[in-house]
Copies of this chain bind each other. A is one copy, B any other.
């Protein structure tokens, strides 16, 4: 599909965006399907999302069993795959299941395979990248990457496992990044606070000036310096599989910052809404199917829907 057909404008931003994360083979069970097998991985969802907005570069590793033609849609979207290495062994595999509510996944199996020895190395140009996203990998690796890089803006994701088992290293990572994105339960676990504002402020005090808290069907919340922003979820009624929504959201957020080449409250808010809209495509299908169907024209429609969903007038009493 050409850019004109897809509604994607040419995006030759001067800003570079690098994501370090996983490309995986997922097996997912939901109430409507058992053991759906497909492409997955944090870097895959992130770059499929950000690739609509800028030209992200992935640093990841694949096993010899991986058919690289599965990533052709990413190349077509403008994603730079030249740093995705294939090494001896099998590709990272994840298996998870969702209950009736389609909330958090329960992990049934994680086969790290080639990901176990993943040692991301940035080349000289990547070290000087403008925007760097550390997807949810073990904090030791996140720390190694962030210590190599001199990026202008570094964001990271994390999870309850690392908060519980790698807290000291995670804290070191937090002291070196600009933005942390995590879900609400993780934010409470990390901060020990109860309300979302208190959680965000406590995490901000650990390092990142911007804290983004994902609330699933309730949207997303941001504390940036002293500004707070709340974005509702896109009201899709076609909920199939939430796998990858968080990475899709982060891709939309970071892709927006890279597209504009700046980080300020207004651009972060736009990025939160773009991320929310793009995540709504991901949830509408298994694997990358929903997000593959997204393009700029459809993103524009959902952005406008989120505008209509949240607008209200002045109080003039």
Distance in Å from the Cβ of A139 to the closest Cβ of chain B? 29
Distance in Å from the Cβ of A155 to the closest Cβ of chain B? 19
Chain A interface size, as a band, is 35 or more
CB of A159 within 8 A of chain B? no
Contact between A269 and B313, CB atoms less than 8 A apart:
yes
Chain B residues, CB < 8 A from A269? 311-313
Mask, A210-246, CB within 8 Å of B = 1, is: 0000010111000000011111100111010000000
- The interface centre, meaning the residue of A11, A198, A237 with most chain B CB atoms within 10 A of its CB, is A237
Mask, A92-131, CB within 8 Å of B = 1, is: 0000000011000000000000000000000000000000
Chain B residues, CB < 8 A from A217? 195-196
Distance in Å from the Cβ of A149 to the closest Cβ of chain B? 27
A235 and B315 in contact, given A310-B230, A310-B310 (Cβ under 8 angstroms): no
**Interface set of A (CB-CB < 8 Å, partner B):** 9, 11, 53, 100-101, 194-198, 215, 217-219, 227-232, 235-237, 239, 259, 266, 269-270, 272-274, 296, 299-300, 303-304, 307-313, 315, 317
